[in-house]
Amino acid sequence: MRIKAYFQRHLQVFMSCLGQFYRAPIAHFLTVLVIAISLSLPALLLVALENARSLVAGWDNNAEISLFLDQSLSPSEGEDFKERLLAWRELSSARYISAEQSLLDFKAYSGFGEVLDKLDKNPLPAVIVLSPRVSAPEAMAPLLARLQALPEVELAQLDLAWLTKIYAMVNVAERAAWVLGLLLAIAVVLIVGNTVRVGIQQRRVEIEVCKLVGGTNGFIRRPFLYMGVIQGGIGGLLAIILVGSALLLLNGPITQLAALYQSSFKLEGLGLSLSVLLLLSSITLGWLGSLFTVNHYMREIEPS
């Protein structure tokens, strides 16, 4: 009976909080909107970074290593060397480009053809272009070092060294997104705290009377905590909708852009786990904001 009464009471408090929402929709809706915008900003940034990451991961696969061979190696020695490299487990393919071929290519593409004609000797080395099986930048470094150490190799160069840089940039941006998220989370706590503060001020007499008739702090706190949770919850849902709509708006232009680069890149949405995370953190933040404020005023408001 006691337990049933307890749940009835909770349900009643919950419904009466929803009722407050209904009675003052504009004020509550503004709070909820601010929460939604605060949370959708970092969420959108994280989604964008997730997408950038998967895009870059696609580029990885055509990362190539160029081996500039020692000038003293003859073309047949170069071909042999290529065959030996093909036996390496780390490498999926190897292509030998002779010094002459390099020169022809260079003449054709660079526009320095006449200058090169004046040289009595071909300055370009023979090159072996390798496709590694591994793709992560971390795995690439030791492979590169091993290749560099071979006597036939003058210089081993990862063509997509800039990939590492992009990865680093994505990491920096991701960290920034979390920092931004943290700041905005604090903002949400403060916003909810402020709304609850106004609510407490309006219900000061009620709180005093409750204390006078033997209401525990837990009882008095309850409706305000529900208020914070409800505002956080609705704010979180709205944030998910905002992020979804923003991605929907971006989807068309991005698909067009990707098509121009012959890429079949597809924009990924928030996803279930990130949505749930967003909603849960929003509810938690609302609850926290309410808790801080209510605890402060619970001490201050005493019957007198």
Partner 1 sequence: MIRFDKAGKRYPGGFQALENISFHLEKGEMSFLTGHSGAGKSTLLKLISAIEAPTGGQVEVNGYDLTKISPRKIPFFRREIGIIFQDYKLLYDRSVFDNVALPLIVSGTSFREVGSRVRAALGKVGLSGREKASPIILSGGEQQRVSIARAIVHRPPLLLADEPTGNLDPDLARDIMSLFSEMNQLGITTLIASHDWSLIGRMGKRVLHLEEGRLQDPDRELGR
Residues that bind partner 1 (CB under 8 A): 1-2, 4-6, 8-9, 205-206, 208-217, 219, 302-304
SS (H, E, C) 188-250: HHHHHHHHHHHHHHHCHHHHHHHHHCCCCHHHHHHHHHHHHHHHHHHHHHHHHHHHHHHHHHH
* Nearest-approach distance from CB 28 to partner 1, in angstroms: 17
DSSP letter (8 states) at residue 87: T
* Nearest-approach distance from CB 299 to partner 1, in angstroms: 9
Q: Is 131 helix (H, G, I), strand (E, B) or coil?
A: strand
Instruction: State the Cα–Cα distance between residues 237 and 25, nearest whole angstrom.
Output: 17
Which residue lies nearer to partner 1 by CB, 223 or 286?
A: 223
Amino acid found at 87 = A
Which residue lies nearer to partner 1 by CB, 64 or 206?
A: 206
Which residue lies nearer to partner 1 by CB, 83 or 302?
A: 302
- Bridge partners of 66, per DSSP, are 129, 157
* Nearest-approach distance from CB 138 to partner 1, in angstroms: 56
CB neighbours of 252 closer than 8 A, spacing ≥ 6?
Answer: none
Instruction: State the Cα–Cα distance between residues 90 and 219, nearest whole angstrom.
Output: 66
* Nearest-approach distance from CB 304 to partner 1, in angstroms: 7
Which residue lies nearer to partner 1 by CB, 30 or 209?
A: 209
Q: Is 251 helix (H, G, I), strand (E, B) or coil?
A: helix
Inter-residue contact 207 to 223 (CB < 8 Å): no
* Nearest-approach distance from CB 4 to partner 1, in angstroms: 7
Which residue lies nearer to partner 1 by CB, 253 or 303?
A: 303
Instruction: State the Cα–Cα distance between residues 297 and 207, nearest whole angstrom.
Output: 10
- Bridge partners of 69, per DSSP, are 153
Which residue lies nearer to partner 1 by CB, 89 or 299?
A: 299
* Nearest-approach distance from CB 18 to partner 1, in angstroms: 16
Neighbour order of strands in the sheet with 153-158: 91-97, 127-132, 65-69, 153-158
Residue 222 has φ and ψ, to the nearest 5°, of: -50, -55
* Nearest-approach distance from CB 173 to partner 1, in angstroms: 49
Instruction: State the Cα–Cα distance between residues 211 and 217, nearest whole angstrom.
Output: 8
Which residue lies nearer to partner 1 by CB, 34 or 207?
A: 207
* Nearest-approach distance from CB 16 to partner 1, in angstroms: 10
Which residue lies nearer to partner 1 by CB, 10 or 165?
A: 10
Instruction: State the Cα–Cα distance between residues 87 and 33, nearest whole angstrom.
Output: 61
Q: Is 2 helix (H, G, I), strand (E, B) or coil?
A: helix
Instruction: State the Cα–Cα distance between residues 299 and 304, nearest whole angstrom.
Output: 13
